[in-house]
Amino acid sequence: MSNRLINLEHITKIFDGEKVLDDLNLYIRENEFLTLLGPSGCGKTTTLRIIGGFLYPDEGKVIFNGKDITQLPPNQRQLNTVFQKYALFPNMNVAENIAFGLKIKKKSASYIQDKIKYALKLVNLDGYEKRKVDALSGGQQQRIAIARAIVNEPKVLLLDEPLGALDLKMRQDMQYELIRLKNELGITFIYVTHDQEEALTMSDTIVVMNGGYIQQIGTPEDIYNEPQNAFVADFIGDSNLIAGTMVQDRLVEILGARFLCVDEGFGENNPVDVVIRPEDIELVEPDVGIIKGRVTSVIFKGVHYEMDVMANGFEWLVHSTTMVPVDTEVGIFIKPFNIQIMHKPVSDDEKAVDTNE
């Protein structure tokens, strides 16, 4: 990745006496697809709106290409926003919607026509110039909203849950379209979603947020395979999250049984959180496993079976391509490198990281 394009420095935002963002620090690189991911109320949309100029922070600065733009209005920033509700003008046809920003900038008619054709080709809607927007499907309206944003040649495209109103199949199609567009246009995408699969599919970098804090920043692989705390582990994908005790380096006690692991530096006999992904649990013969259990439910999910196994007083979630019938006694085996150890937070809202330096 190339140089930093946007720096958020010590951003704090307060609504009705409550801190929605608390001393947030984040940088975004040029040509990066960065996703702000988290549950409702975590501060992700507020962060996006501060970058876009729709909100001003109570404290802190927004630096864009080395210039302080904290107090600049949206129309003076080199970015465009695509909202979940698209905000298309129903009284205008497709071409007029796309041309709207260019006409405000007083571009020539021939320039505008060229840009409309280019944008429609880019979003795979050639020949749709004269269509009424209310005659288009949700996915087509979404593409027009994106086309309208990109004709203005922004350096950054802000996308606020833009696929939320689409059905599953259309949403998946649009995910791939957005990746293609980002690669073709070579601009920075900042994307807000609460959908983990969406974030894992599209992003170069994911910023997991909760309670106004950044919990973790990393690649999709980092976030999934190496969660830094229990919140991230629980929020991203399915997981077995269990309280444990780090006996010593590379040895953890879970539910009264000792498991070899690869983590070090957690001290001796210290309480920890342990995360084990359901696809990393192997069901074996009872005598071969580290602990024994019994299968309590089986659901066929298409690509795998989802099974619950009661073992040592804990209901383990297991994903496997091999079905084991309900009421079968099994052993549970987990390879050491598939056991992820995390520090226990001091409090529920403990800040995991405050910067991605």
In this structure, is residue 36 part of a structural domain? yes
CATH number, residue 279 = 2.40.50.140
Strand duo 329-333 + 340-343: pairing: unpaired
In this structure, is residue 16 part of a structural domain? yes
Give residue 321's pLDDT.
97
Residue 27 has φ and ψ, to the nearest 5°, of: -120, 150
3-state secondary structure at position 352: coil
202 and 252 part of one domain = no
262 and 333 part of one domain = yes
286 and 210 part of one domain = no
Number of H helices, E strands in the chain: 8, 20
Give residue 105's pLDDT.
87
Boundary-marking domain end, from 160, 192, 225: 225
192 and 64 part of one domain = yes
Please tell me the total count of domains within the chain.
2
pLDDT in tens, the chain (357 residues): 458 999 999 999 999 999 999 999 999 999 999 999 999 999 999 999 999 999 999 999 999 999 999 999 998 999 998 887 777 899 999 999 999 989 988 899 999 999 999 999 988 899 999 999 988 988 899 889 999 999 988 999 999 988 877 788 888 888 998 998 999 899 999 999 999 999 999 999 999 999 999 999 999 999 999 999 999 999 998 999 999 999 999 999 999 999 999 999 999 999 999 999 999 999 999 999 999 999 999 999 999 999 999 999 999 999 999 999 999 999 999 999 999 999 987 655 554 444 444
Give residue 356's pLDDT.
44
Boundary-marking domain end, from 225, 254, 277: 225
197 and 143 part of one domain = yes
Question: Cα(246)–Cα(249) distance, rounded to whole angstroms?
Answer: 7
> What does the block give as tokens for 143?
């593409």
173 and 46 part of one domain = yes
- Burial class from Cβ neighbours inside 10 Å (0-12, 13-18, 19+) for residue 126 reads exposed
In this structure, is residue 25 part of a structural domain? yes
165 and 100 part of one domain = yes
Instruction: List, in sequence order, the alpha helices (H) in the chain.
Output: 44-52, 94-104, 109-122, 138-150, 168-185, 196-202, 220-225, 230-235
Are 214 and 47 a contacting pair, CB within 8 Å?
no
Are 306 and 298 a contacting pair, CB within 8 Å?
yes
256 dihedral zone (left: phi>0; alpha: psi -120 to 50; beta): left
HSE-CB at 22 with a 13 A cutoff on CA atoms is: 18
Boundary-marking domain end, from 225, 252, 273: 225
28 and 122 part of one domain = yes
In this structure, is residue 48 part of a structural domain? yes
Show the domain range for 273. 239-343
CATH number, residue 37 = 3.40.50.300
Per-residue burial over 204-238, b if 16 or more Cβ lie within 10 Å, else e, is bbbbbbbbbbbbbbbebeebbbebbbbbbbebbbe
250 and 220 part of one domain = no
Residues in the chain: 357
The partner residues of 256 in beta bridges, in order of sequence, read none
Give residue 61's pLDDT.
98
In this structure, is residue 352 part of a structural domain? no
Global confidence as pTM: 0.89
